[in-house]
Amino acid sequence: MSYHQNRSIVIRNAIINSLFIIWCLVWRTGLGLTFFIIYASLGYIYNWPFYLPISIILGFVPWGWKVQEERRIREEEQEMRNLKNKIGDGVIYAKAESNVEITYRGVIFLKSVLGLFVSGFWGMILGWKAIWNMIIQLVDNIRTVVRYM
């Protein structure tokens, strides 16, 4: 592959990645603001003081999802590194896990509601880190595009 083809591929990938990061930043923030506005407007209608804190927590839910996704990816990478270190030059084996849950509708509803609040707290606590990592990646992509142009 020639230098010019490689350069155009690097530039194209950096631009696509940058657009995707911008879209994720806008989408997650917009979705969080939508959650906040809908739930806060219910509080305004019914004059219940707990709607504001609940709507703030719900506003951070999309960033909590991102934090949980990053945490899950890090745990999987760590597990693979540990497995690679254990195996070394040995034999590769496969492992399958199965998880069977018997739940009822009420339990599923409670798990989903509690999951929203857990995600909201994750977003409030570590959402800034997810946003910062995305901004750093965006700046790095912009530097890549500028360097190769």
Asked if the model's pLDDT at residue 86 lies above 80, the reply is no
Asked if the model's pLDDT at residue 126 lies above 70, the reply is yes
| Cβ(120)–Cβ(57) below 8 Å | yes
C-alpha–C-alpha distance, residues 59 and 126, integer Å: 14
Residue 28 has φ and ψ, to the nearest 5°, of -65, -45
Task: Name the average pLDDT for the chain.
Answer: 85
Label residue 102 by pLDDT band (50, 70, 90).
Answer: low
The residue that leads in pLDDT, 63 or 10, is: 63
Asked if the model's pLDDT at residue 89 lies above 80, the reply is no
- AA identity, residue 139: V
pLDDT value for 93: 62
Q: How many domains does the chain have?
A: 1
Asked if the model's pLDDT at residue 78 lies above 90, the reply is yes
Nearest to 131 by CA among 26, 10, 55, 17: 26
Per residue in 8-51, pLDDT tens?
Answer: 888 889 999 999 999 999 999 999 999 998 888 877 777 777 78
Print the domain residue range for 51: 3-148
Phi-psi region of 88 (alpha: psi -120 to 50; beta: other; left: phi over 0): left
C-alpha–C-alpha distance, residues 50 and 142, integer Å: 43
Give the mean pLDDT of 115-135: 92
